[in-house]
Chains A and B, each alone.
Chain A
Amino acid sequence: DGGITQSPKYLFRKEGQNVTLSCEQNLNHDAMYWYRQDPGQGLRLIYYSQIVNDFQKGDIAEGYSVSREKKESFPLTVTSAQKNPTAFYLCASSIAVNSNQPQHFGDGTRLSIL
C-alpha cells in the first residue's frame, strides 16, 4: 500500500541535543511538508519542499532544518536552538506543485524533552 511512514513514533531529546525525525513516502508525490501540532491547536507549517533539492521555510522554521536529497525522503532535524520542541510532528505529501489536491499524512512523531 502506498503511504507515508514516519519514525520513530516517540522520541525523547536531551538538552542541547539535535534529533532527526524521519519521513518517507512511496506515493511518488513531488511536494512534502512538515507540521507541528501542539495540544488542542491546529497545524503550523515548519518547512515544505516542492521538488528534490529545494525547500522553503514555513511559518515557524526557526530552530528546525530539513533536507530533500531524494524524492521519497524529507527528514526534519529539531536543533538545540528550538527551545520548546515538545509537540506532535506531522509529515505530509501532495501530488504536485500548483495542485489543488489534498495532502496525505503520516501517523506522526511525538517529541518530548528528557
Chain B
Amino acid sequence: GDSVTQMEGPVTLSEEAFLTINCTYTATGYPSLFWYVQYPGEGLQLLLKATKADDKGSNKGFEATYRKETTSFHLEKGSVQVSDSAVYFCALSDGGANAGKSTFGDGTTLTVKP
C-alpha cells in the first residue's frame, strides 16, 4: 500500500536559518503530494501541494518539488522565522484506488529560536 516517510524530528533551528524536511513516498499510482502544517492545539492546514511530476508547490516562502525519479517531496525554506514553529506533515493522495483517502507521514516538529 501507499506510505510516506518523513525525516525524524524534532528539528531546532535559529531564526533566518535554512530549513529542509525530507519526505519520500511509495504509491502505486500517480499521487498528488501535500505538505500540511499544524500549530499547537489546532487542526492541520494545507501549506502547499503538487499534482504531477516536476511541479513545484510554494506558499509563505516554503517550497517543495515533486520528484518522481526519487519519489521525494522535500520541504524547504530559505529563512525560517519563530512563527514557523509547528509540526509539518507530508501526505499523498492517489485518488483512484483509495478514493480520496490520504496517507500521512508521522510529522516533523520544528522549533525556531530567536
Q: How far is the CA of A64 from the CA of B71 in the complex (A)?
A: 35
Q: Which residues of B contact A108 (CB under 8 A)?
A: 41-43
Q: Which residues of B contact A99 (CB under 8 A)?
A: 93, 95, 100
A101 vs B94: C-alpha distance in the bound complex, in angstroms? 9
User: Which of B46, B89, B96, B99 has the most CB atoms of chain A within a 10 A radius of its CB?
Assistant: B99
The reply to whether the CB of A63 lies closer than 8 angstroms to some CB of chain B is: no
Contacts of B36 on A, CB cut-off 8 Å?
Answer: 102, 105
CB proximity to B under 8 Å, residues A86-114 = 90, 92, 94, 96-108, 110
B99 touches A97 (CB 8 A): yes
Closest-CB distance, B96 to chain A (whole angstroms): 6
Q: Indicate whether A46 reaches chain B with its CB closer than 8 angstroms.
A: no
Interface residues on A, range: 20 to 34
Task: Given A102-B34, A107-B42, verify A41-B107 contact (CB < 8 Å).
Answer: yes
B32 cross-chain contacts in A, Cβ below 8 A: 100-102
Tell me if A50 and B43 are in contact (CB < 8 A).
Answer: no
Given A33-B101, A41-B106, A45-B101, does the pair A100, B94 have CB atoms closer than 8 Å?
A: yes
Given A42-B104, A45-B101; A98-B43 close (CB under 8 Å): no
Residues from chain A with a CB closer than 8 A to the CB of B89 are: 42-43
- Shortest B106–chain A CB gap in Å is 4
Annotate A35-77 by CB proximity to B: 1 below 8 A, 0 otherwise. 0000011110100101000000000000000000000000000
**Interface of B toward A, CB cutoff 8 Å:** 31-32, 34, 36, 41-46, 49, 51, 89, 93-96, 99-102, 104-107, 109
